Structure 1
Amino acid sequence: MESHAKRIEGRHAELIAAEDVLLFVHAAITSTGQREFRSGEAEQRMSLDFLHEYVRVNYRPLYAASLALDINDHNAALIVRRLLETAGEVTAEERRTEGRLIAARLARLPAPRVYRLFRALRTAKVNNRRTRAIMRDWLAARPDPALDAVKYRSGLKCAARHAHLPLGHRGEADGDVGGELATELGDFLFAPRRRKRFATPLLDAWRRAHYEQGAVYELPFTVAEGFAAAHGIGRRAFLENIAPRMTRLERLRAQESARTLGADTAAADLTRMPLTRLASYVLGLSLDDRAARRAELTAALRAAARRAAGAQAGTWGRVAAVLDDSFSTTGSRQKRRRPLAVALACHFLLEALAGAYVPLWTSGRQDALLAHPYGPTPLGMRLLDALECAPERLVIVSDGWDNAPPGMAGEVLRAWRTRIDREGRTSVVHLNPVYDAEDFAVRRLSASVPTAGVRMAEDLPALAQLARFAEGRTGLAELRAHLDDRVRRFLEDVPDGAGGAA
């Protein structure tokens, strides 16, 4: 009897641990510490900081392993920083594993985010040998050091000082940036007036752009903007001349401005844009513009959805989706229409994944392209409509604030699971794009339906798999096995010595 009680107690502890880790993972997917529709920035940051500290202290191996999941860049950088700040808490073997995970994640983060992380580490005086090795490895792997020096000058300067990079010295530089380029980078960062010219074209273009307008157009777009303003170059002329230097995303961001000014620039190729980012762009257009460009925008969204679906396209059978376009999907000033963008992107992705697809928006509208935040959130009513279709899969994309009438969605799902579909013929998952700071979680609709946080619609298939752990039927062992598999695949191309693991 005593051993049986201990087994039950152990199983209960495992379920609690699994729930704690999942709570953190879903928060790390959705929250960026910014204001949401129903909570301010301070609440979001305080809630998120508590979760990071709690999971790091109690489940550190799983905390580090979450770097291999689809968490957002903000939380990935926070995890890396906290692991490096507390490196003395773990064994040498654990440090090796963490180092490889950190190196793999940094390689996937945008450069501005990594440079901000390095600056934060310097401010916090985290300067152990492993931290310096991680910084040196990342900087050495950068494809174009001169571009980084021009585009992220202050960030590279800070990182070079903190990691003790031997810039500005003649000769090879210990596997980092070597030779003449190292010397030029050192002069460029720390003594730019020392040279009358640079042998590296991009560095010299930056020097000449201070007094020569033509050199402005040899620089990256974001750097050239500042010089153009200093030279008094008109926005239309600037956009026309800098167009060949713009990246795909820069071209997209400047496209509407160029259109308004009548600038002759090549339009961004929308068919190659990532799905969720494209959905945000579409929602930023006026309803009249969307209607006028219907064929172009719809074709681009469907092309992006097909890419995201990949080999799973058309394999999900009969799918019904309840998609939230209520007023709360307005988001906040920092995350404008973000919940609605995720819902719109999920709509097109589910259309690509399904064999047969029925979308149901909470507003009752039929035209997804003209979606805009409006009205209450009658999730319960839409769920009844969706279940009448007898789908094989039901996907709900909503912040979980069911208010027309309140609580109806939870009752519909409970009754469906306990009385009508006890065998689980219909797979139901709730994807929530908003972190609820007060509850330290993404808001759930029902205990009988798994909920997962979502930030990018492209992650939907993986999140649907992760959500099954949120049903409370699997313990820490199953979750750990899932994370171990994700970590193994995440680190396939990372050498054992990466991340300062020595």
Structure 2
Amino acid sequence: MENQTDLVAAEDLLLFVNAAITSTGQREFRSGEWQQRMSLDFLHAYVLGNYRELYAATLALDINHHNAALIVRRLLETAAEASPEQRRTEGRLIAGRLALLPPQRVYRLFRELRRAGVNNRRTRAIMRDWLAARPDPALDAVKYRAGVKAVARHAHLPLDTEMGLFLFAPHTRKAGFATPLFESWRRAHYTQSALYELPYTVAEGFAVKHGIARGAFLERIAPRLTRLERLRLQGSAREHRADAVVGDLATMPLTRLASYVLSLPLDDRVRRREELTAALRAAARRTAGPRAGSWGRVAAVLDDSFSAFGSAQKRRRPLAVALGCHFLLEALASELIPLWLSGRTDALLMYPLGPTPLGARVLDALEHRPDRLVIVSDGWDNAPPGLAGEVLRIWRTRLDPQGRTSVVHLNPVYDAEDFDVRRLAREVPTVGVRDAEDLPALVELAQFAEGRTRAAELWTHVDARVRRFLEVEG
């Protein structure tokens, strides 16, 4: 028999994980940025103060980059409150998570630690070790120069003469640098050809300085573009007829690709239907991996109501998650029954519009008696309000108490007022989702949110995830 303390701790952990997956502290459709930030800050302070080991362990889970950076910062700021054993485990978790974060976010985190005066020995060691593991220090020095300078000052890094000179007094070097990238940066100030040897984000500023036409610049810088830079520049490249930039969309991450597709005008989507559909399906198959076709008959209720627009900061993000889940479920299922709230059937042409009739769509889905029902929605059931919750309650308690149909609700939007993602029914598990790629892992996590699984099994699951994370990152 589990005690009340264990059950409360399990509920608190699931609450925090949902927030750490979905919230980025930015404006959402129904809450402002300040509400999101205040709500999220409270949760971080509460879980760190009451469950420090669990707080650190969430670094091994599928949380978003924003919350991972917040956790690292708070752990380092409160290092004096941890035991020696806790500090050792935290150090390994922090190192593993920093290796997964985008470098620009890590440099931003390090600058925040410097401004906050967090200067303990462990923090400096983590900075030194992370920087020493970077694959190309010269590239970092050019691309993230301000960040590298801040880390060098804060962690008292020993720098070779050329690196130190480039970071702190680059214009005093008249004879040129021996490091090719440093020399290209120096020459790019007065020679146009040199800027094409630099990373795109650095070269772009030089191109503006030299007055180079956008189309010509994109054509020549194309070989230096990263995969995600190519995706972000698709529209600009087509506008300026820079064909060299347009890469293979099928190699892009699923949710980013879905966001790109939704950013296109409907006419463009129709014209490029074959290309875009093939790319989305290829990304979904790659994500599904060996699980492809193993989920049986799946009914998916997908939210394309007006609130799926998101906000100016997270434009069409909820709809992009739903679109990505559509194609991923198509790959995972032996048969997919997709039911969009609007009643439209062409997934490629979806756009946010209308109310949220979740109850009616859930009824339609359950009539098919699927093996699984997956609902992807912000949970604001309003046509009529509360119908979806009643349908799911009656289905689970009276019509299918044995659980022959597995039901899970994935919610891409954090509800700042309730410190959680909005739920449809107590009888059905709801978990937060940030990227469609995380869907299989989140369905596994949902069993703990359903309340049928004991807290001890949740701790076992978390411990196993931490062990796997440390083994992979170690």
What TM-score do the two structures reach when normalised by structure 2?
0.99
CA contact (8 A) 2:237 2:245 kept: no
Question: Which residue of 2 is the match for residue 363 of structure 1?
Answer: 342
Matched residue SS, 1:492 = helix
CA contact (8 A) 2:379 2:423 kept: yes
Question: Which residue of 2 is the match for residue 271 of structure 1?
Answer: 250
Alignment-mate amino acid for residue 364 of structure 1: G
Q: How does 1:147-166 map to 2 (within 5 A)?
A: 147-166=139-158
Equivalent residue pairs, number: 473
Alignment-mate amino acid for residue 188 of structure 1: F
Question: Which residue of 2 is the match for residue 331 of structure 1?
Answer: 310
User: Out of 396, 420, 434, which is 1:417 matched to?
Assistant: 396
Q: Distance in 1 between matches of 2:410 and 2:275?
A: 28
Question: Which residue of 1 is the match for residue 79 of structure 2?
Answer: 87
Alignment-mate amino acid for residue 427 of structure 1: S
Q: How does 1:311-460 map to 2 (within 5 A)?
A: 311-460=290-439
Q: How does 1:184-333 map to 2 (within 5 A)?
A: 184-196=162-174, 197-333=176-312
Q: Distance in 2 between matches of 1:71 and 1:166?
A: 34
User: Out of 34, 37, 40, which is 1:48 matched to?
Assistant: 40
Cα offset, 1:467, TM superposition: 1.1
Matched residue SS, 1:314 = coil
Q: Distance in 1 between matches of 2:67 and 2:215?
A: 38
Question: Which residue of 2 is the match for residue 4 of structure 1?
Answer: none
Q: Report the aligned-residue RMSD.
A: 0.9
CA contact (8 A) 1:316 1:353 kept: yes
Q: Distance in 2 between matches of 1:262 and 1:279?
A: 23
Q: Please identify, of 468-477 and 247-256, the stretch whose mean Cα deviation from structure 2 is larger.
A: 468-477
User: Out of 94, 98, 106, which is 1:102 matched to?
Assistant: 94
Question: Which residue of 1 is the match for residue 107 of structure 2?
Answer: 115
Question: Which residue of 2 is the match for residue 139 of structure 1?
Answer: 131
CA contact (8 A) 1:15 1:472 kept: no
Cα offset, 1:494, TM superposition: 4.1
CA contact (8 A) 1:305 1:348 kept: yes
Cα offset, 1:344, TM superposition: 0.1
Question: Which residue of 2 is the match for residue 20 of structure 1?
Answer: 12
CA deviation vs aligned residue, 1:366-399 (integer Å, no higher than 9, x gap): 1000000010000000000000000010000000
Matched residue SS, 1:405 = coil
CA contact (8 A) 2:410 2:431 kept: yes
Question: Which residue of 2 is the match for residue 64 of structure 1?
Answer: 56
Alignment-mate amino acid for residue 317 of structure 1: G
Cα offset, 1:307, TM superposition: 0.6
Task: Could you tell me which runs of 5 or more consecutive residues in structure 2 were left unpaired when the two chains were aligned.
Answer: none
Q: Distance in 2 between matches of 1:383 and 1:477?
A: 32
Task: Could you tell me which runs of 5 or more consecutive residues in structure 1 were left unpaired when the two chains were aligned.
Answer: 1-6, 168-181, 496-502
CA contact (8 A) 2:302 2:377 kept: yes
CA contact (8 A) 2:237 2:246 kept: no
Cα offset, 1:253, TM superposition: 1.1
Alignment-mate amino acid for residue 276 of structure 2: L
Cα offset, 1:266, TM superposition: 4.0
Indicate the percent of aligned positions where both proteins have the same amino acid: 76
Q: Distance in 1 between matches of 2:171 and 2:282?
A: 50
CA contact (8 A) 1:306 1:313 kept: yes
Q: Distance in 2 between matches of 1:232 and 1:148?
A: 26
Question: Which residue of 2 is the match for residue 177 of structure 1?
Answer: none
Q: Distance in 2 between matches of 1:321 and 1:263?
A: 39
CA contact (8 A) 1:400 1:443 kept: yes
CA deviation vs aligned residue, 1:377-434 (integer Å, no higher than 9, x gap): 0000000000000001000000000000000000000000111001110000000000
Higher relative contact order (CA 8 A, sep 6+): 1
Q: Distance in 1 between matches of 2:105 and 2:25?
A: 15
